[in-house]
A and B are shown apart, each in its own frame.
Chain A
Amino acid sequence: DQQVKQNSPSLSVQEGRISILNCDYTNSMFDYFLWYKKYPAEGPTFLISISSIKDKNEDGRFTVFLNKSAKHLSLHIVPSQPGDSAVYFCAASARGGGGYQKVTFGTGTKLQVIP
């Protein structure tokens, strides 16, 4: 039961253009959403997050959009740079039993930015 889905395993974009990574979720209890960037053989690095009370959050070149009615979020990277080439994980969290934050990850999208 994949509650967080990233349907595109890979994406190629020209340097300077916009990268759009998509994520869908099924659990309506999710109320906090995150994007992580991961290089091979390293741990994921937190990029940006959004609470369910917002529909957009920006941080420099990165913007996350949340469409609660469609249960869809996206990460926009503008402009894309070769250093952005990595695997991007979408994650969503809901308050679990005992109050802890259960974070569920998608399967990742490998972004390649072509110089």
Chain B
Amino acid sequence: DGGITQSPKYLFRKEGQNVTLSCEQNLNHDAMYWYRQDPGQGLRLIYYSQIVNDFQKGDIAEGYSVSREKKESFPLTVTSAQKNPTAFYLCASQQSSYNSPLHFGNGTRLTVT
């Protein structure tokens, strides 16, 4: 059963700590994305990767870092430099062909106190 798995579903951290969110896909998709959802602001793009060992900044990359060492995996690290890290984080993947939809995981709710 193909899909995107994000873990954990809920994550709590103290301010000043880095935290890594996991995203794994078995859809054999080349492209992977990280979005952030805040109330009333829709989904905003953090980072994206079109191919292994390559990734690009999205619209709100400051305070975040990613890696893409395997096709299946695209972890996101929320660093202590991110000023407002509490949010709902969504990972997505996409076939490499143009005009194909993004497929999303079920998200990770990060709360930083």
Query: What 1/0 mask marks residues of chain A from 39 to 62 whose CB sits below 8 Å from any chain B CB?
Result: 001111110010100000000000
Chain B contact patch, size range: 20 to 34
Complex CA distance for A106 and B35, rounded to whole angstroms? 13
Partner of B107 from A43, A95, A103 at Cβ < 8 Å: A43
Partner of B99 from A4, A51, A102 at Cβ < 8 Å: A51
Closest to A4 in B: B42
A115 contacts B by Cβ under 8 Å:
no
Query: Is A41 in contact with B107, judged by CB distance below 8 angstroms?
Result: yes
Complex CA distance for A43 and B23, rounded to whole angstroms? 13
- Which B residues are closer than 8 A to A by beta carbons? 4, 6, 9, 31, 33, 35, 40-45, 48, 50, 56, 88, 90, 92, 94, 98-107, 109
- Which A residues are closer than 8 A to B by beta carbons? 4, 9, 32, 34, 36, 41-46, 49, 51, 89, 93, 95, 98-103, 105-108
- Say yes or no: A95-B98 contact (C-beta < 8 A), given A44-B90, A46-B103, A107-B40: yes
